[in-house]
Chains A and B, each alone.
Chain A
Amino acid sequence: MTRFVLEYHLVAYRRVWRGSVLSSFVLPLLTMLGFGVGVGTYVTGGVDGVPYLDWIVPGLIASTAMQVAIGDSSWPVLGGFEWQRIYFGQAAAPLRVADILDGHLAFVVFRTLTSCAAFLVIATAFGAMHSWWALATLPVAALVGLAVATPTFAYAATIRVDSYLAVLFRLGVIPMSLFSGVFFPVESLLGPLRWIAYALPLWHGVELSRAATLGVAPAWSLVGHVLYLSLWAGAGWLLAHRQFTRRLVV
């Protein structure tokens, strides 16, 4: 049943995909040029022995995964309950709450994967990929996507007005993008801030992504990173399922 819900979201996406494909390519291109090439010229020594551009690209891929996943699970989920109310229509069909949730999550993963694949293509053109392991950034992106999308689903299913989403972006998304080792190593952060970076999901994705594109082993345990991201995804799913059930089965 989940696939029928995914199919619905893909049909709906067909109306807007052109615009989103353009932004999937243009945005990474601009960030590459701005941060990698622009800022990179000033970081003459590189980071960890690699040019700044090559160091920053895998972080940007993971960060893109996070931003696309949260973007696609915030307003669309809130709207599914409050504006177009499509979830209520789905709940009247022979779908279970888990089907409705999983179908929409699958679509968010699809969006995350396609956006990151576009980024990967552009970055490869810039010569920032050091290894075939770079392809592993895609499953990592999917995992990061799930780790942040599921709690966002839960949050968006709880609030009633979209001003709370601005709070999520200001206090969640932006700080997480800035302090998760995307632009500079988290080791530069002061003690407590560094622990916040460790606790948030993005840093783990950035570490995995970077190890993949540079073709080296991650500094911490690979399994540990994967399990930690899975923990976010699993706990987020349970919360999202609880909130969806509260709204749809009353």
Chain B
Amino acid sequence: MTLIHARGLVKRFGDFTAVDGIDVDVQRGEAFGFLGPNGAGKSSTMRMIGCVSPPTGGVLRILDLDPHRDGPAIRARLGVCPQLDNLDLELTVRENLTTYARFFGIPRKVARARADELLDFVQLTERAGSKVEPLSGGMKRRLTIARALVNEPEIVLLDEPTTGLDPQARHLVWERLFRLKQQGVTLVLTTHYMDEAEQLCDRLVVMDGGRIVAEGSPRALIERYSTREVVELRFNAESQDVFAGKLAGVGERLEVLPDRILLYVADGDDAVAEVQRRALSPASVLVRRSSLEDVFLHLTGRTLVD
């Protein structure tokens, strides 16, 4: 069943077009991602799906309802984890969940029981009675995720769920989101971290400048738009450009970044051998597998995180 259906979806703010005619279908039980750099139109898309931002054009149906007419009815069945936390810092961790549950008309007793379950799920039971203010960024984010689950939503929208978190806190959030995914909850997330997209998304679209430039599973995208392996070469020189010519023909493709050269190849070790044969001596050599970062670089000529 298609939970989110968009055709030619457009969002404009005055002269600025944030979302420029995108087509998206999200199925039940899927973990779907919008991958792209800041300003690609991901958050604008999420806000339209969250029924807090009316589309400027195109078709959008959520849970087979019209966001314009049935906004509250749709929102009752969504869980939203926004990019910026908007928890009540003065309330306790638990009260943040119980008061929010009431906005969905959930009876107090049920709200209390669900708050306890969710605090257990996001591993915040020990902090239930403490205020939100002193919590770490990772804890606040987990609480926001718990709050998004308080109405047992059919779709959970996560806008940049781990942006600003340290690596350990990120992994804890990923692990919880992975658990949700296993439980069959439909997840829709935006991210500019390729590793996040690779770990969590069954399917994703790559966005750039308000448009979708590619779509597929992480693996399919990599297979289609990149090679199996990548060799990263760093040369001790003002500019990497001069070495680009000398590397011509090594591998299928080559990208020159300000600080390194990427060689797209089927076999990394073969390519490194060829580089040595040409008597080039890079300061460092790294062979790695292709990632979504390479897909994005290939499609847009830019890196995801500047």
A interface residue numbers (CB < 8 A to B): 1, 4-5, 7-8, 11-12, 15-16, 84-96, 248-250
User: Smallest Cβ distance from B29 to chain A, in angstroms?
Assistant: 22
Nearest-CB residue, chain B, relative to A3: B102
Residues of A within 8 A of B50 (CB): 92
A94 to B89, CA, bound (A): 22
Are the C-beta atoms of B100 and A89 separated by less than 8 Å?
Answer: yes
A38 to B71, CA, bound (A): 58
Contacts A85-B86, A93-B104, A248-B52; A12 near B73 (Cβ below 8 A): no
A225 to B12, CA, bound (A): 46
Stretch from B58-66, B76-84, B186-194, B206-214 at the A interface:
B76-84
Are the C-beta atoms of A95 and B103 separated by less than 8 Å?
Answer: yes
User: Can you show 8 pairs from A to B with CB atoms below 8 A apart?
Assistant: A4-B102, A11-B98, A15-B90, A84-B86, A88-B82, A89-B87, A89-B100, A95-B72
- Nearest 9 pairs of A and B residues by beta carbon: A93-B103, A94-B76, A85-B86, A92-B80, A94-B72, A89-B86, A8-B99, A4-B102, A94-B75
Summed over the interface, the residue pairs from A and B with CB atoms below 8 Å come to a total of 73
A86 to B85, CA, bound (A): 9
Are the C-beta atoms of B52 and A92 separated by less than 8 Å?
Answer: yes
Nearest-CB residue, chain A, relative to B54: A249
Q: Is the interface of B mostly helix, strand, loop or mixed?
A: loop
Nearest-CB residue, chain A, relative to B75: A94
Query: Counting CB contacts under 8 A, is B245 at the interface?
Result: no
Are the C-beta atoms of B91 and A4 separated by less than 8 Å?
Answer: no
A87 to B104, CA, bound (A): 15
Query: Counting CB contacts under 8 A, is B88 at the interface?
Result: yes
Are the C-beta atoms of B103 and A15 separated by less than 8 Å?
Answer: no
With A93-B104, A94-B72, A94-B73 given, name 11 new contacts (CB 8 A): A4-B105, A7-B102, A11-B99, A12-B99, A88-B52, A90-B103, A92-B50, A95-B72, A95-B103, A249-B54, A250-B47
User: Which of B47, B102, B104, B151 is close to A8, meaning CB atoms less than 8 Å apart?
Assistant: B102
Are the C-beta atoms of B53 and A250 separated by less than 8 Å?
Answer: yes
Contacts A91-B52, A249-B52, A249-B53; A5 near B103 (Cβ below 8 A): yes
Are the C-beta atoms of A88 and B54 separated by less than 8 Å?
Answer: no
Query: Counting CB contacts under 8 A, is B95 at the interface?
Result: yes
Are the C-beta atoms of A92 and B99 separated by less than 8 Å?
Answer: no
Are the C-beta atoms of A11 and B91 separated by less than 8 Å?
Answer: yes
Interface string of B33-77 (1 = CB under 8 A from A): 000000000000001001011100000000000000001110110
Residues of A within 8 A of B103 (CB): 1, 4-5, 8, 90, 93-95
Nearest-CB residue, chain A, relative to B103: A93
Are the C-beta atoms of A12 and B90 separated by less than 8 Å?
Answer: yes
Residues of A within 8 A of B72 (CB): 94-96
Nearest-CB residue, chain A, relative to B148: A92
Residues of B within 8 A of A249 (CB): 52-54
Contacts A88-B82, A92-B82; A12 near B91 (Cβ below 8 A): yes
Are the C-beta atoms of A85 and B84 separated by less than 8 Å?
Answer: yes
Residues of A within 8 A of B90 (CB): 12, 15-16
User: Which of A7, A85, A86, A94 is close to B104, meaning CB atoms less than 8 Å apart?
Assistant: A94
A91 to B86, CA, bound (A): 11
Nearest-CB residue, chain B, relative to A90: B103
Interface string of B98-117 (1 = CB under 8 A from A): 11101111000000000000
Nearest-CB residue, chain A, relative to B79: A92
Nearest-CB residue, chain A, relative to B51: A92
A183 to B98, CA, bound (A): 46
User: Smallest Cβ distance from A203 to chain B, in angstroms?
Assistant: 36
Are the C-beta atoms of A11 and B52 separated by less than 8 Å?
Answer: no
A4 to B102, CA, bound (A): 6
Are the C-beta atoms of B91 and A15 separated by less than 8 Å?
Answer: yes
Residues of B within 8 A of A1 (CB): 103, 105
A91 to B103, CA, bound (A): 10
